[in-house]
A and B are shown apart, each in its own frame.
Chain A
C-alpha cells in the first residue's frame, strides 16, 4: 500500500509551483537575513541560537513544509466536506479575539498559543473563506448568474472583512476584495467591476480635485448626457431617473461620503497616508478620532508623516540598475526603513539587487500567478476552480498592494508580501492556500462537490 500512497502523493502534483514556492520562501529568508545582518556578530552562531528573525523564519518554513506534506496526504474530499465548518469556526475565532485577543502593534487580532507564538485568525480566515466561497458557488443549486447568489457570496466575503476592520486590520479587510476575481470568473457581470472601478476613480479624483469643482464637472457631464440623449429621453423617462440618480450618488460621494469616511471613520494616520500617496497633506485637525484622542489624553498627537514611504523609496531607488550588492545596502544596514523585515521587505531586495533584482523577482511572481491561473483553468470541478481563483486573487492582491505601497503607488496598509515577509501566521496561511490548491489539482479529474 505504501508504494501506492507514494505514487498518489507525487502523481498530478504540480512540481513547478512547489519549486517556485520553495524558491520564494528561500528568497524571503535571505531578504530577512539582509535586514537583520549585523557585521559585528557571527551570523552562523546567531542563526543557530534561533534568536534572529531569519532563523525563526527558517524554522517556520520547516514547520510549514510538514504542514504542506500533511495537506498533500489528506483526501481532497475533506476540503469540500469541512469548508463550511471551517468558515464558521474561523469567524468564531475572530469573534473570540475581541474577548481573549492580545494586542500587538495596536491591533487586537492575535490569539496567544503555546511557546510564545501568536495566531492571527484573520489570516486563517482567508483560507476558510476561499473554501466556503468555492463550496457555495459549486453547489448544484447555486445559479451564479442571479443577483441573489451574488449578494450571498458578497455577504460571505464581507463578514470576515468587517470583523477585520473591527480589529483595526484595514489591510487584511481589504484583502477580501480579492475574491472578486473568483466571482468574476464565475459570472459576475462585468459592469459591477466597471462600477467599482469608476467608484475608485471617483474617490481618487476627490483627493486630487477641489470638491466643488469636481461637483461642477460631474454636473456638466450629467448635463451633456441629458443633451446627447435628448430625444430618447422623451420616449424613455426611466433614463432621466437613472442619470439623475447616478449624478446624485456621485456628488453625494464627493461632497459627503468621502470626507465623512476620511474624517470620521479612518484614523488620522490612515487618511494622512492616503493623502500622501497623491502628494498632499492632510490636516489632522479635521479628523474626529484624532480630536477625540486629543481631548482624551490632552496631548497633541505627533504629526504622522510619510517617513516610511520616503525611506522605502530611497532604499529601492538607491539600488539603481545593478543594486548595491548583497549586504551592502546602506538604508538596510542603517535601519532607515521601519518594519523592514515584514511589510517593507521588498526594499531590502530592491536596494541590494537593484532593478535587475526587482524585475527578476516580479517575473517570478508573475510566472507563479500565471501558473496558478493555468491550474485553475484546467479544473473540471467548479469547487477547485473557484478556490484556485481565490488563491490567485489573494496572492495577487498581497503582491500588488504590498509592492505598490513600498514604491509609493498605494497608501501604506499593513499587509505582508506572500512567502517573503517575516511572520509565521502569514507563511502558514500562504503555504496552506498553495498546497490545498495543489492537493485539489492533483485530483483534477475528479468532480468535487
Chain B
C-alpha cells in the first residue's frame, strides 16, 4: 500500500526545498543586499572614545607662554548607575534644588542616553570640586572628569590670542569634513582661530567593545583601528609680553589702540585694543558670566580696534604725502611754502597750527612743525601733476602709491577679519563730484593732511612706519614667527611673512630726508618733549578730526633712528592732541622694548597715564542710561578668580601640572626683568607658581 504513494516522498522533498529556498532568500536580503545591519551592529557594540590632544601653546619672543593648558573638572553622571544617590547632599553642594537635579538627569539622558556619561555640571569651582571629591562615594554613578582649558598667565593679549569655544551647528556645517563633533572646542577668534589646524593637533580615537548593558568589554580588535592623539604644535610669536602688557595698561580707561612692529621682520611686538578684557575671563565657568557683558557693552571690548578700527590718519600721513611728491619729482627736499597760518588756495581757508614765518621753508621743517598748508599744497601738486593730464589721473597714481604703502587694502596679518580701511577709489568721488573730467585737486584737498575719506587701521599705520624705517620695504605684519617642527605645509602658510615686500622704487635719499624731518619732530617739533632714554627716534604726531566728537590723538614713530628695531602706531580716540596722549604712550612702548625696562621716571609717567580717564562722555552716558553703571569700572582681573586655576592644580597635587610642553620649556626670565615685571603683573604673588 506504500508503493502507490511513493511520489509523495518527492513532494515532501519539494516542500522542504521550497522552505529552505525561502530561508536562503531572506538570508541573501539580510547578509548580502543590506548593509544597514552592519552599521547597526557597530552602533550597538563599538564605543568610540575620542582622545583629545593638548592644544598647542603660544609663546612670546622670549619663550614665555602667553597661554597654557590647565585642568578643569566636570561633574559627569551615568544616569543608569545613579541609583541610591544622596540627592539632598549633592544638591546642597551644587546649590541646586531637587527639581533642577531631576531636570539635569533627564537632560543627560536625552543627550547621552542612560548608559553613557553626560555632563551634569561643567567647570567646577575649586571649593565645589573639593567637596565633591570628598563625598563622591555617596553619589554612585557620578564621577569627576577632567578637561583641558586655556589659562593666560600674563592676563594679556586677549584680542590677539582669541578664544576657544564649543562648536555650534553652523561651525560643524562649515567644517564638515574636518572631523569635528558636537561638544568639541575650536578656536573662534584671533590666533586660536587662524592657527586652529596647527594648535588642535590630531585627535585620537579609541574603539572599545561594549556589551548590551553598555559596559566596556575591552579594546575593539586589540586596538588595531585606534589612532593616537597627537598634541597640537606650539606657536612661537614675535610678541613681547612686557610691551604688550604695558600697551594695555597705558590704554586703560581710554578707547584706542596701539600696535608695535619689528620692522626687520614684520613681527608684531604688541597689539593692544582698548577697552579690552582679561582672557582668563573667557575660560571655564567664568565664560558664561563674562561673555554676555562683553557682547552688550557699547564700548565693544571684544572688538579688535588694531585691525578693525578705521581712523583718519591725520598728520601722521604727511611723511607719506611728501614721499609721493618727492618720488614723482614734483618737489625737492628744499621745496618751501610760505605759510601764514592758513591755506586759502581752495577758497575756504584751512587752518595751520603755526604762524611764524618760515616754519615750512623746506620739507624737513614742514614735517617738524607739521605744517598743514605745506602738505595741502604738496598734495594738490600730486593730484594736478601735469604728467597724468587730469585730476583723475593724478588721483589714480596717488592711490596706487597709497595701496603700495599698505593702505586701503588688507595687509594679510595672521589674524582673522582684518579690515582694509579706506582709500576711496575714483568711483566714489565720481558719484559725489560728477564727471572726473571736471574734477580739481581742491575737491579732495584734505586728503593731503590725512583727512577726508581716507582711513587706516592702527596696524596699517604701524606698518607704514616700518616701511619708512626700512627705506622702502616691509614684511607683512604677523605674529607667528615659527611653528614647532614645521611641516612644508605650515612653512607655506608662513611663507608670505618671510618675503620682503618691496613695492616701490623710491630712492633711499628721499627716505633719509623724511627720516630727518621725523627726527626733528622729536628734537624741536611737535613731539620734542617725548624722549626715549638712550635712543634717537623718529616720529610724527597726528590730531585727526572725526565726526564722533573730540579729535583723535595719533602718534606714529620708529626707533632707533639709524637702526630701527621697532615701529609703533598709537591712537587714542577723542582725546585731543596727538602729542599729549598718543605720543607719550608710543614713547614708553619704544623705551620698554629697546631698553627692556623703564626708568623710574618713565615708570611714574606710565602709572599716571594709566590712571587718566579719557572715555568719551557719550559712552559713560550710555552706561548710566542703560543701567549698566557697573560697566564704568573696566573689566579688571580679579586675583581670586585667577587663583582658581592654580588652586585647582594644587588640589590635583602633582598629578596635573601646568601643561607646558617639554619640548619648549619657558626660558627663565632674566633677573633684570623681575622688578619690572612685578610692577606689570597685577598678581605678583602668583608668579612663583607660574615659573617654579
A contact set with B: CB distance below 8 Å: 39-40, 144, 181, 184-187, 311, 313-321, 328, 330-331, 333-336, 350-351, 354-355, 358-359, 362, 365-366, 369-370, 373, 376-377, 382, 385, 389, 392, 396, 400, 403-404, 407-409
> Contact check: which of B23, B34, B35 meets A404 at CB < 8 Å?
B23
Q: Is the CB of B2 within 8 A of A321?
A: no
> Contact check: which of A144, A317, A328, A370 meets B13 at CB < 8 Å?
A370
Q: Is the CB of A144 within 8 A of B1?
A: yes
User: Separation in Å of the A73 CB from the closest CB of chain B?
Assistant: 29
Kindly name the residue among A354, A377, A404 whose own CB sees the greatest number of chain B CB atoms within 10 A: A377
**Which residues in window 1-26 of B have CB below 8 A to A?**
1-2, 5-6, 8-9, 11-13, 16-17, 19-20, 22-24, 26
> Contact check: which of B6, B28, B44, B46 meets A314 at CB < 8 Å?
B44
Q: Is the CB of B2 within 8 A of A186?
A: yes
B43 nearest CB neighbor, chain A only: A314
Q: Is the CB of B31 within 8 A of A321?
A: yes
Q: Is the CB of A334 within 8 A of B31?
A: no
For the complex, is B293 an interface residue (Cβ under 8 Å from A)? Answer: no
User: Separation in Å of the B211 CB from the closest CB of chain A?
Assistant: 4
User: Separation in Å of the B3 CB from the closest CB of chain A?
Assistant: 11
For the complex, is B438 an interface residue (Cβ under 8 Å from A)? Answer: no
Q: Is the CB of B31 within 8 A of A366?
A: no
A333 to B221, CA, bound (A): 11
A138 to B209, CA, bound (A): 58
Contacts of A377 in B (CB 8 A): 6, 9
A328 to B9, CA, bound (A): 42
For the complex, is B99 an interface residue (Cβ under 8 Å from A)? Answer: no
User: Separation in Å of the A179 CB from the closest CB of chain B?
Assistant: 13
> Contact check: which of A144, A333, A355, A369 meets B31 at CB < 8 Å?
A355
Given contacts A320-B32, A403-B23, 18 further A-B contacts (CB under 8 A): A40-B218, A314-B41, A317-B30, A318-B38, A321-B32, A330-B209, A331-B41, A334-B44, A334-B45, A334-B210, A359-B24, A359-B27, A366-B16, A370-B16, A377-B6, A377-B9, A392-B16, A409-B22
For the complex, is B636 an interface residue (Cβ under 8 Å from A)? Answer: no
Contacts of A40 in B (CB 8 A): 218
B31 nearest CB neighbor, chain A only: A355
Contacts of B26 in A (CB 8 A): 404, 407-409
For the complex, is B212 an interface residue (Cβ under 8 Å from A)? Answer: yes
A385 to B42, CA, bound (A): 49
For the complex, is B36 an interface residue (Cβ under 8 Å from A)? Answer: yes
Contact status of A331 and B31, CB under 8 A, knowing A369-B16, A382-B2: no
A422 to B30, CA, bound (A): 25
User: Separation in Å of the B342 CB from the closest CB of chain A?
Assistant: 88
A218 to B358, CA, bound (A): 119
> Contact check: which of B11, B23, B40 meets A318 at CB < 8 Å?
B40
Contacts of A314 in B (CB 8 A): 37, 40-41, 44
**Which residues in window 592-640 of B have CB below 8 A to A?**
none
B6 nearest CB neighbor, chain A only: A377
Contacts of B217 in A (CB 8 A): 333-334
User: Separation in Å of the A410 CB from the closest CB of chain B?
Assistant: 10
Chain A contact surface mostly: helix
Contacts of B19 in A (CB 8 A): 396, 400
A313 to B37, CA, bound (A): 7
> Contact check: which of B9, B22, B46, B209 meets A376 at CB < 8 Å?
B9
Q: Is the CB of A407 within 8 A of B27?
A: yes
A369 to B12, CA, bound (A): 11
User: Separation in Å of the A203 CB from the closest CB of chain B?
Assistant: 18
> Contact check: which of B9, B30, B212, B221 meets A185 at CB < 8 Å?
B9
B211 nearest CB neighbor, chain A only: A334
> Contact check: which of A185, A316, A403 meets B8 at CB < 8 Å?
A185
Contacts of A334 in B (CB 8 A): 44-45, 209-212, 217
Q: Please list the 8 inter-chain residue pairs (A to B) with the smallest Cβ-Cβ separation, ordered nearest first.
A: A317-B37, A318-B41, A330-B45, A355-B31, A334-B45, A317-B30, A334-B211, A318-B38
A355 to B28, CA, bound (A): 7
Contacts of B220 in A (CB 8 A): 330
Bin the interface of chain B by size: 35 or more
Q: Is the CB of B31 within 8 A of A320?
A: yes
A337 nearest CB neighbor, chain B only: B212
User: Separation in Å of the B73 CB from the closest CB of chain A?
Assistant: 31
Q: Is the CB of B31 within 8 A of A317?
A: yes
Contacts of A39 in B (CB 8 A): 218
Contacts of A408 in B (CB 8 A): 26
Pull 25 A–B residue pairs with CB atoms less than 8 Å apart, ordered by A. Answer: A144-B1, A185-B12, A186-B2, A186-B5, A187-B5, A311-B44, A316-B31, A317-B36, A317-B37, A318-B38, A328-B221, A330-B46, A333-B217, A334-B212, A334-B217, A336-B45, A358-B27, A362-B24, A366-B17, A366-B20, A373-B12, A400-B20, A404-B26, A407-B26, A409-B22
User: Separation in Å of the B32 CB from the closest CB of chain A?
Assistant: 5
Kindly name the residue among B16, B38, B209, B220 whose own CB sees the greatest number of chain A CB atoms within 10 A: B16
> Contact check: which of A316, A330, A370 meets B30 at CB < 8 Å?
A316
User: Separation in Å of the A248 CB from the closest CB of chain B?
Assistant: 30
Contacts of B23 in A (CB 8 A): 362, 400, 403-404, 407, 409
User: Separation in Å of the B15 CB from the closest CB of chain A?
Assistant: 8
A331 to B211, CA, bound (A): 8
Kindly name the residue among B8, B23, B35, B44 whose own CB sees the greatest number of chain A CB atoms within 10 A: B23
User: Separation in Å of the A146 CB from the closest CB of chain B?
Assistant: 12
> Contact check: which of B12, B35, B44 meets A320 at CB < 8 Å?
B35
Q: Is the CB of A336 within 8 A of B218?
A: no
Q: Is the CB of A330 within 8 A of B44?
A: yes
User: Separation in Å of the B527 CB from the closest CB of chain A?
Assistant: 75
B20 nearest CB neighbor, chain A only: A366
A378 to B11, CA, bound (A): 16
A362 to B210, CA, bound (A): 31
Contact status of A333 and B209, CB under 8 A, knowing A185-B5, A359-B24, A400-B19: yes
User: Separation in Å of the B44 CB from the closest CB of chain A?
Assistant: 6
Contacts of B46 in A (CB 8 A): 330
Q: Is the CB of B31 within 8 A of A358?
A: yes
A317 to B40, CA, bound (A): 9
Contacts of A335 in B (CB 8 A): 211-212
Q: Is the CB of A318 within 8 A of B37?
A: yes
A74 to B291, CA, bound (A): 91
A369 to B26, CA, bound (A): 20
Q: Is the CB of B27 within 8 A of A316?
A: yes
Q: Is the CB of B12 within 8 A of A392?
A: yes
Encode B201-215 as 1/0 by CB contact (under 8 A) with A. 000000001111000
Contact status of A373 and B27, CB under 8 A, knowing A334-B211, A334-B217, A336-B44: no
**Which residues in window 32-61 of B have CB below 8 A to A?**
32, 34-38, 40-42, 44-46
User: Separation in Å of the B210 CB from the closest CB of chain A?
Assistant: 6
Contacts of A373 in B (CB 8 A): 9, 12-13, 16
User: Separation in Å of the B158 CB from the closest CB of chain A?
Assistant: 48
User: Separation in Å of the A345 CB from the closest CB of chain B?
Assistant: 15
Contacts of B2 in A (CB 8 A): 186, 382, 385
A181 to B11, CA, bound (A): 10
A63 to B33, CA, bound (A): 42
A351 to B23, CA, bound (A): 16
Contacts of A185 in B (CB 8 A): 5, 8-9, 12
Q: Is the CB of A389 within 8 A of B37?
A: no
> Contact check: which of B13, B32, B45 meets A355 at CB < 8 Å?
B32
Contacts of A366 in B (CB 8 A): 16-17, 20
> Contact check: which of A355, A382, A385 meets B27 at CB < 8 Å?
A355
**Which residues in window 625-676 of B have CB below 8 A to A?**
none
Contacts of A403 in B (CB 8 A): 23
Encode B342-376 as 1/0 by CB contact (under 8 A) with A. 00000000000000000000000000000000000
A396 to B20, CA, bound (A): 10
Contacts of A362 in B (CB 8 A): 20, 23-24, 27
Kindly name the residue among A318, A335, A403 whose own CB sees the greatest number of chain B CB atoms within 10 A: A318
A187 to B8, CA, bound (A): 9
Kindly name the residue among B20, B22, B220 whose own CB sees the greatest number of chain A CB atoms within 10 A: B20
